[in-house]
Amino acid sequence: MVSTRLSRMEGHRRKFMAVIDDTPECGRAVHYAGMRAKNSNGGLVLLYVIADADFQQWLGVEGIMRAEARAEAEATLAKIAQTVRETIGIEPEMVIREGGATDQIYSLIEEDRDIAILVLAAGSAKDGPGPLVSSIAGKTAAFPIPVTVIPDLLTDEEIDALS
């Protein structure tokens, strides 16, 4: 059970969350979430999850690998945030977490009770919509907030018209 969302209460605003990863469709989710946030006077949260499993096999260099992964996450978020500022005109919140993506999504939703909608983008590859969409789609009955899945083939103009 998820905590009650606060986004409709005075002093709060509805936030849209997009998960940042290395998939080509990630940009579609960010653009849609950003446009929905702008058009509804809401906020945009960009979540980057560093998989902690990457560090467990290399105990001797764990600290160095973790620092490099964090620096990469920060650089990726900074680049995407700059694109959001330039193309959409809003200032996104940036969050970096370590762990499993689904677990960290749930955790952030529970912590930030203004997050009201998760936006993901489906890939168009023949092997399916992507690991994150597949993971969350299998749990939709128990997922704490609405999930919007954006088709990968939509253009920015089509996304603008929908948002």
What type of residue is 30? V
| Gyration radius of the chain over CA positions | 16
CA separation for the pair 93, 97 (Å, rounded): 13
Q: Would you state the pLDDT for residue 163?
A: 85
Two structure tokens written together for 108: 């952030």
> Which DSSP string corresponds to 65-103?
HHHHHHHHHHHHHHHHHHHHHHHT----EEEEEES-HHH
| pLDDT value of residue 11 | 75
Q: What pLDDT digit, counting tens, does each position of 9-66 carry?
A: 677 789 999 999 888 889 999 999 999 999 999 999 999 999 876 555 656 677 778 8
What is the pTM (predicted TM-score) of this model? 0.86
Least confident of 43-52, 77-86, 97-106, 124-133: 124-133
